């Protein structure tokens, strides 16, 4: 497992060396969202009777930061390696496709969890958090970071230039994240849009994660777990097959 550990360490070191950009910047962005939405409109919005809007908003912001940064870590690393030409130095060593996959995804999970922890620590200075079911939050945080790390890996393999990767992030990842109930409960939407939200796997990640914070959710937490686990498994199979066949990696 020396090759796996070396690649994993390289990926962690890659984002840690520029922590102002990869860790501090997302924390500040989440704090700005909390300030604008929480303090500007929080007193005018009611989501659950027993939960203030700020308490509802914090887990959504934490999860959103984790998902976006887990995706960015794998996708940006691969596209940079492709464009600079140093991907060959990763493909030459006798690494199995599973070691390649695990090193990139676990590094993405580390970045996602670090950013999420940073947002959480900053947020609790302004909003009291009770965490009645912390294990559910930990589970969905891990699954969400894994899933977006895998999705970033797939996007990084598919993209051949930064424009393609930016399109993937701006037209797929960002809309799915913002329409997943980060700032609102889907029960406040018309029936048609509620049904549309149930087709979004990001909604189940955020809803399950929020359940650990406030003890309430829009759908049963076991249903969210089943959807997220199923999507993660499907993406894992796709990513491993792409790496094994060398799709857009060996050319």
Give me 133's structure tokens. Answer: 């079911």
The answer to whether residue 162 sits within a structural domain is yes
Closest CA to 144 of 171, 109, 111: 109
Q: Which residues make beta-bridge pairs with 51?
A: 48
The answer to whether residue 112 sits within a structural domain is yes
Instruction: Say whether 209 sits in a helix, a strand or coil.
Output: helix
d(CA 45, CA 188): 10
Q: Is the per-residue pLDDT at 188 higher than 80?
A: no
Its domain, for residue 83, covers 2-42+52-245
Report if pTM > 0.75.
yes
The answer to whether residue 95 sits within a structural domain is yes
Q: Label residue 181 by pLDDT band (50, 70, 90).
A: confident
Residue 247 region by backbone torsions, left for phi larger than 0, else alpha for psi between -120 and 50, else beta: beta
Q: Label residue 250 by pLDDT band (50, 70, 90).
A: confident
What's the domain count of the chain? 1
d(CA 235, CA 225): 15
Q: Is the per-residue pLDDT at 43 higher than 70?
A: no
d(CA 233, CA 97): 16
Give me 4's structure tokens. Answer: 């796996």
The answer to whether residue 183 sits within a structural domain is yes
Q: Is the per-residue pLDDT at 44 higher than 70?
A: no
Q: Label residue 1 by pLDDT band (50, 70, 90).
A: confident
Q: 112 with 148: CB under 8 angstroms?
A: yes
The answer to whether residue 251 sits within a structural domain is no
The answer to whether residue 180 sits within a structural domain is yes
Q: Label residue 216 by pLDDT band (50, 70, 90).
A: confident
**14 to each of 47, 142, 173, how far by Cα in Å?**
40, 21, 22
- The pLDDT score that the predictor gives to residue 184 is 84
d(CA 68, CA 70): 6
The mean pLDDT of 179-183, rounded to a whole number, is 86
Q: 30 with 119: CB under 8 angstroms?
A: yes
Over residues 134-176, the pLDDT tens digits come to: 999 999 999 999 999 999 999 999 999 999 999 999 999 998 9
The mean pLDDT of 64-91, rounded to a whole number, is 94
Q: Label residue 45 by pLDDT band (50, 70, 90).
A: low
Instruction: Say whether 216 sits in a helix, a strand or coil.
Output: coil
- Tell me what percent of the chain is helix, strand and coil, each rounded to the nearest 5: 75, 0, 20
Name, of 32-36, 153-157, 180-184, 186-190, the range with top average pLDDT. Answer: 153-157
Q: Which residues make beta-bridge pairs with 48?
A: 51
DSSP assignment of 2-68 equals: HHHHHHHHHHHHHHHTTHIIIIIHHHHHHHHHIIIIIIISGGG--SBTTB-HHHHHHHHHHHHHHHH
The mean pLDDT of 70-77, rounded to a whole number, is 96
Count the neighbouring beta carbons within 10 Å of the beta carbon of residue 190. Answer: 8
- The pLDDT score that the predictor gives to residue 251 is 67
Report the length, in residues, of the chain.
251
The answer to whether residue 217 sits within a structural domain is yes
- The pLDDT score that the predictor gives to residue 42 is 63
- The pLDDT score that the predictor gives to residue 189 is 77
């Amino acid at each position: 497992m020396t090759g796996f550990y070396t690649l994993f360490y390289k990926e962690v070191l890659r984002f840690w060396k520029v922590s102002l950009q990869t860790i501090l910047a997302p924390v500040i962005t989440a704090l700005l969202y909390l300030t604008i939405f929480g303090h500007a409109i929080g007193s005018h919005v009611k989501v659950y009777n027993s939960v203030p809007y700020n308490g509802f908003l914090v887990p959504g912001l934490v999860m959103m930061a984790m998902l976006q940064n887990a995706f960015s870590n794998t996708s940006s690393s691969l596209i940079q390696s492709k464009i600079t030409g140093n991907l060959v130095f990763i493909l030459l060593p006798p690494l199995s496709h599973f070691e390649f996959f695990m090193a990139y995804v676990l590094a993405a999970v580390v970045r996602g969890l670090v950013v999420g922890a940073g947002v959480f620590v900053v947020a609790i200075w302004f909003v009291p958090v009770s965490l009645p079911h912390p294990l559910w939050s930990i589970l969905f945080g891990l699954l969400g970071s894994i899933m977006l790390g895998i999705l970033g890996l797939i996007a990084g393999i598919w993209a051949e230039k930064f424009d393609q990767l930016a399109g993937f992030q701006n037209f797929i990842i960002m809309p799915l994240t913002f329409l997943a109930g980060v700032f609102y409960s889907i029960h406040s939407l018309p029936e048609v849009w509620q049904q549309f939200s149930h087709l979004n796997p990001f909604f189940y990640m955020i809803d399950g994660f929020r359940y650990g914070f406030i003890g309430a959710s829009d759908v049963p937490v076991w249903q969210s777990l089943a959807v997220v686990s199923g999507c993660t498994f499907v993406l894992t199979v796709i990513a491993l097959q792409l790496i094994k066949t060398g799709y857009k990696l060996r050319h």
